């Protein structure tokens, strides 16, 4: 089942305002090696909203070339429906096996706008579509009822929901509520890396992961532990990454993940598209410290 387990979202690093193809390729190559279940190229983490159509197509093609047997999904969101349709066609041509669609907005959108967007797109494409609910970037809030309307459409394969509660019972109730609202077979994936272990343990099928694109090994480990029902182990492995979760809360997951990749030599410095500035030197020092702490946590685990 393609929409389960860990979907890793690689950054799209830029150098001098152009896609750094070598850095992107190297990021992608780590993912099948770590055993991720899928790769989502040009997701929010991959800065899709900032890239030109040509850049997006190139990035998807590179991901497909270097993903081996791992399926590649691609973000197709754009402000105008006709642009979304063009992105969908380009993504399919580039080899994307599924399409991730967020209701990107400038003018606030209504439920009917968003339903019609998904209706139009699913009527045109051949690949499965993932509903991408990310109110922190789109500023659109889905109701459970709107999930239900959209999930009835053909080709809707999965819904990426915002982080569920870190309370296990509340997370389980929320995921069951979404599951009850959508047809059987529509997978439910969580985002919000800090709460992902709880989400998977609470019954989510998938984890759509920002940090998974840059640190695939520990995120695969969390996912596998959760899938085996090893509650304590999954939560402990997630807790190892707590220094990162804390920085995510403070600076946002994208800027911190970019700093992690830069610190590890996986991306050039200031790899995000301007106007998004990289973290300042103080914050970068804290990222380096967090990575050291995580390494210690992981070594203690092995001992």
| Sequence ranges of the binding site | 45
Q: Does 120 bind its own copies (CB under 8 A)?
A: yes
Nearer to its own copies, 135 or 183 (CB): 135
Region of 62-70, 99-107, 224-232, 287-295 interacting with its own copies (CB under 8 A): 99-107
3-state DSSP assignment of residue 231: helix
CA distance 55 to 78: 14
Name the pairing type of β-strands 38-41 and 18-19.
unpaired
Q: Does 91 bind its own copies (CB under 8 A)?
A: no
Question: Which are the contacts of 149, defined by CB distance < 8 A and separation ≥ 6?
Answer: 111, 115
Q: Is 160 a catalytic residue?
A: yes
Burial string for 134-168 (b: 16+ CB within 10 Å, else e) reads beeebebebeeebbebbbebebbbbbbbebbeeee
Catalytic residue among 48, 132, 147, 208: 132
CB of 236 to its own copies, least distance (A): 31
Per rule CB under 8 A, count of chain residues that contact its own copies: 31
CA distance 191 to 182: 18
DSSP state of 264: T
CB of 79 to its own copies, least distance (A): 5
CB of 175 to its own copies, least distance (A): 26
Question: Which are the contacts of 26, defined by CB distance < 8 A and separation ≥ 6?
Answer: 266
Region of 56-64, 87-95, 112-120, 154-162 interacting with its own copies (CB under 8 A): 112-120
Region of 80-88, 148-156, 184-192, 293-301 interacting with its own copies (CB under 8 A): 80-88
CA distance 3 to 73: 10
CB of 11 to its own copies, least distance (A): 12
Q: Does 282 bind its own copies (CB under 8 A)?
A: no
Among 54, 68, 110, 292, binds its own copies (CB under 8 A): 110
Among 10, 46, 103, 128, binds its own copies (CB under 8 A): 103
Question: Which are the contacts of 292, defined by CB distance < 8 A and separation ≥ 6?
Answer: none
Q: Binding site for pyruvate, residues?
A: 45
Nearer to its own copies, 192 or 218 (CB): 192
Helices 242-251, 231-240: axis angle to 10 degrees equals 60
Among 33, 54, 68, 112, binds its own copies (CB under 8 A): 112
Nearer to its own copies, 49 or 235 (CB): 49
CA distance 187 to 41: 19
CB of 247 to its own copies, least distance (A): 15
CA distance 258 to 245: 14
3-state DSSP assignment of residue 277: coil
Name the pairing type of β-strands 18-19 and 14-15.
antiparallel
Among 80, 228, 269, 292, binds its own copies (CB under 8 A): 80
Q: Does 276 bind its own copies (CB under 8 A)?
A: yes
Q: Does 76 bind its own copies (CB under 8 A)?
A: no
Q: Which residues pair with 15 in a beta bridge?
A: 18
Q: Is 147 a catalytic residue?
A: no
DSSP state of 275: T
Q: Does 137 bind its own copies (CB under 8 A)?
A: yes
- Tell me, rounded to whole angstroms, the distance of Cα 168 from its chain centroid: 22
Question: Which of the residues are catalytic?
Answer: 132, 160
Binding site for its own copies (CB under 8 A): 17, 44, 49-50, 79-82, 103-104, 106-110, 112-114, 116-117, 120, 136-137, 139, 252, 254, 273-277
């Amino acid at each position: 089942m393609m929409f389960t387990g860990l979907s890793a979202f690689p950054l799209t690093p830029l150098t001098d305002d152009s896609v750094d193809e070598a850095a992107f390729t190297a990021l992608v190559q780590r993912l099948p090696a770590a055993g991720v279940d899928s790769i989502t190229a040009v997701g929010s983490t991959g800065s899709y909203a900032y890239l030109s159509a040509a850049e997006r197509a190139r990035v998807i093609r590179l991901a497909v070339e270097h993903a081996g047997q791992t399926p590649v999904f691609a973000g197709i969101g754009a402000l105008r429906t006709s642009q979304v349709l063009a992105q969908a066609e380009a993504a399919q041509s580039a080899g994307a096996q599924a399409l991730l669609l967020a209701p990107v907005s400038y003018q606030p959108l209504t439920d009917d706008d968003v339903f019609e967007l998904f209706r139009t797109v699913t009527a045109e494409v051949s690949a499965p579509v993932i509903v991408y609910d990310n109110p922190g970037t789109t500023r659109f809030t889905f109701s459970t009822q709107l999930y239900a309307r959209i999930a009835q459409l053909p080709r809707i394969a999965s819904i990426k929901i915002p982080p569920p509660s870190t309370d296990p019972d509340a997370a389980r109730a929320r995921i069951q509520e979404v599951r009850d609202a959508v047809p059987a077979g529509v997978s439910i994936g969580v985002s919000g890396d800090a709460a992902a272990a709880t989400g998977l343990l609470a019954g989510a099928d998938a984890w759509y992961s920002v940090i998974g694109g840059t640190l695939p090994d520990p995120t695969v480990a969390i996912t596998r532990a959760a899938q085996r029902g090893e509650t304590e182990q999954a939560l402990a492995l997630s807790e190892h990454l707590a220094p990162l979760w804390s920085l995510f809360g403070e600076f946002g997951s994208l800027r911190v993940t970019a700093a992690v990749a830069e610190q590890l030599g996986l991306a050039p410095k200031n790899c995000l598209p301007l106007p998004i500035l990289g973290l300042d030197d103080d914050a970068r020092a804290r990222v380096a410290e967090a990575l050291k702490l995580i390494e210690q946590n992981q070594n203690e685990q092995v001992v």
